[in-house]
Structure 1
Amino acid sequence: MTATQLTAPRRRAATDSPRSLSAVLTTFIGLGAVLMLAPFAWLVVATTHSTSEIFSSPPALLPGSHFWENFSGLFTSLQFGSALRNSVVVSLVYTGLGLVVCSAAGYAFAKFTFRGRNILFTVIIASLALPGQVTLVPLFKMMVELGWLNSYQGLILPNLALPFGIFLMRQSMHSVPDELIQAARMDGAGELRTFLQIVLPTMRPALAALSIFLFLAQWNDFVYPLIVQRTPEAYTLPVSLATLHGVQSTDYGQLLTGTLISVLPVLVLFLFLQRYFVAGLLAGSVKQ
């Protein structure tokens, strides 16, 4: 038997080993995907059933015929349309303004040298350790004094300077070469033009990642809107859905239908921005 004949089985074994490992990893990933998608699939199915069918035993796993009942009842039993409009307006405006504020602050911390810069940035990072409940009472008193209860500005303006957003943009700005900014200044571009036309276009992955965080933070916020929005016409989606929980009974068909409606914009946003998401989180991990 020749040496070539002896080494052939070893080569086949070495080739089969990565293939078997890939098959095992693919199987585990597939199982994980099924486990993560199963609750969402059940949510979609549950919106087509009544409350009694949702809690039936065995549970209903196939779509029913109560979706339009739940959908129409959702908009007639409470002011769900107003809550949906409020959430869309507040979340979109908050995301747009938050991107401007956080990116401008991150640019200042990354590319400018001024007295107290490190101390101020340390205070911003330290504020990440504070739970949001600590600022609820002071914020509520400020909203009362400003007359901003039941208003869009009361929901949007207080949290625009998100500490995590400033940190993310500051780290991302480090990846912008200083030579590029200096060249723009030498060509006569002002700071605002340099920031808008030179720096921001290179920050698209980080801006996309930050927009997801900002939108989710505002879209899913429950406690703060519950405190500052005093009438049903001013409620956002989380607060409006919470009113479906009755003292004696709860219409879970309507509740799950409203939950599905509230989840869909988040899924659409992530599907459009998913290719930028990981790149945005990794931006600035390596300094130039």
Structure 2
Amino acid sequence: MSNQVLNNTGAEVQIKSPVQQPLQGKRFPISKYIAYLFLTVLCVIWIIPVIFGITTSFRSQAEVVSTGFRLLPVNWILDNYVTILNNTSTAPILRWLVNSIFIATTHTALVIVIISITGYGYARMNFKGRDTLFFTLLGISFFPGVVNLIPSYKIIDAFGWVNTEWAMIIPGLAGMGNIFLVRQFMKGIPKDLDESAKVDGAGDFRIYFSVILPLIKPVLIVCGLFSFTGSWNDFLWPVIVYTDVDKMPVTAGLLLLQDIYGNYRLIGQLMGSAILAIIPTLLLFLFAQKYFVQSINLNAGIKG
């Protein structure tokens, strides 16, 4: 479609009017829908046991035994949680939660300090055998942790830390996986910043605190979240080093609950205790989700 007009010389000129172009066929993104379907199926598989555990904690024991698998209870009750919270002698769940919060928080704080300083040494400082030492320790860390159980217990026992919170806080502070992430992130930071600081008279500690530390907050958030959840969910080690009920973290306490509640088939109380145990880490990820999603992308710290 076009319109004819006269120009300054009197000649006719055709002016094409804008015409809606036909829609070009777009390629159907079948792979995207297959991926969404696959992730949805996985989500359903993972979330149904969690929902069933939550709803079971609100069932009476008679309903648990009689109805079998039923996603929602017939009668919602709070008796299981009342029993759990009132039991402060054989199964002090609140005390265990406080112990776990103190252990995981202290462990995470120390981990952040240690891995940031260690990563700075491996990434920004030059000394003989630096890379050889780093990769040797990294290779040793690939051995399964169960190999170190007996030596670790001997060391903890020699320090007199059995049945204390230090048995949970100190081991694993210098995890090579976290140090590797921090080192790689730091290696992506231009060294021109260090040189500029040195020109101004700053030493290594001043460069670490004033220049590097503010730039590596993203990777420290990631390592902090992993360290907190790892310390909170640790099961085998606290079972080995704790025998005092009042000093146990919640994971070791849940094993004890299997003997207290499991023998009498008190499934509601057992599931209620497990739900209470996951609330702190669930809240942590809900409040830190924004920072976690932003921080998990470590491309800024890894050279391509």
- Tell me the TM-score range normalised by the shorter chain: 0.7 to 0.9
Q: Tell me what 1:127 maps to.
A: 140
Are 1:252 and 2:267 counterparts? yes
Are 1:99 and 2:115 counterparts? no
Are 1:242 and 2:255 counterparts? yes
Q: Tell me what 2:185 maps to.
A: 172
| Normalised TM-score (structure 1) | 0.86
Distance 1:147 1:58 in 2: 48
- Cα gap change, 1:159/1:23 in structure 2, threshold over 3 Å: closer, same or farther? closer
Structure number with the higher helix fraction is: 1
Distance 1:190 1:42 in 2: 57
Q: Tell me what 1:157 maps to.
A: 170
Preserved contact between residue 58 and residue 73 of structure 2 (Cα < 8 Å): yes
Matched ranges for 1:1-288 at <5 A: 8=22, 11-14=23-26, 17-18=28-29, 26-63=36-73, 65=75, 67-75=77-85, 76=87, 77-246=90-259, 248-284=263-299, 286-287=302-303
- Cα gap change, 1:175/1:82 in structure 2, threshold over 3 Å: closer, same or farther? same
- Cα gap change, 1:131/1:55 in structure 2, threshold over 3 Å: closer, same or farther? farther
TM superposition shift of 1:92: 0.3
Distance 2:140 2:62 in 1: 46
- Cα gap change, 1:42/1:21 in structure 2, threshold over 3 Å: closer, same or farther? same
TM superposition shift of 1:55: 4.4
Q: Which amino acid aligns with 1:271?
A: L
| Structure 1 residue ranges without an equivalent (≥5) | 1-6
Render the CA deviation track for 1:177-215: whole Å, top value 9, x for unaligned.
111122122223332232122212111221111111101
Preserved contact between residue 175 and residue 283 of structure 1 (Cα < 8 Å): no
Render the CA deviation track for 1:234-253: whole Å, top value 9, x for unaligned.
11101101111127434221
Q: Which amino acid aligns with 1:46?
A: T
Preserved contact between residue 205 and residue 279 of structure 1 (Cα < 8 Å): yes
Q: Name the stretch that deviates more: 244-253 or 215-224.
A: 244-253
| Structure 2 residue ranges without an equivalent (≥5) | 1-20
Preserved contact between residue 100 and residue 249 of structure 2 (Cα < 8 Å): yes
Distance 1:239 1:64 in 2: 32
SS in 2 for 1:62: coil
Preserved contact between residue 102 and residue 165 of structure 1 (Cα < 8 Å): yes
| Normalised TM-score (structure 2) | 0.82
SS in 1 for 2:170: helix
Preserved contact between residue 184 and residue 302 of structure 2 (Cα < 8 Å): no
- Cα gap change, 1:66/1:23 in structure 2, threshold over 3 Å: closer, same or farther? closer
SS in 1 for 2:72: coil
Q: Which has the larger radius of gyration?
A: 2
Preserved contact between residue 185 and residue 302 of structure 2 (Cα < 8 Å): no
Equivalent residues, number: 279
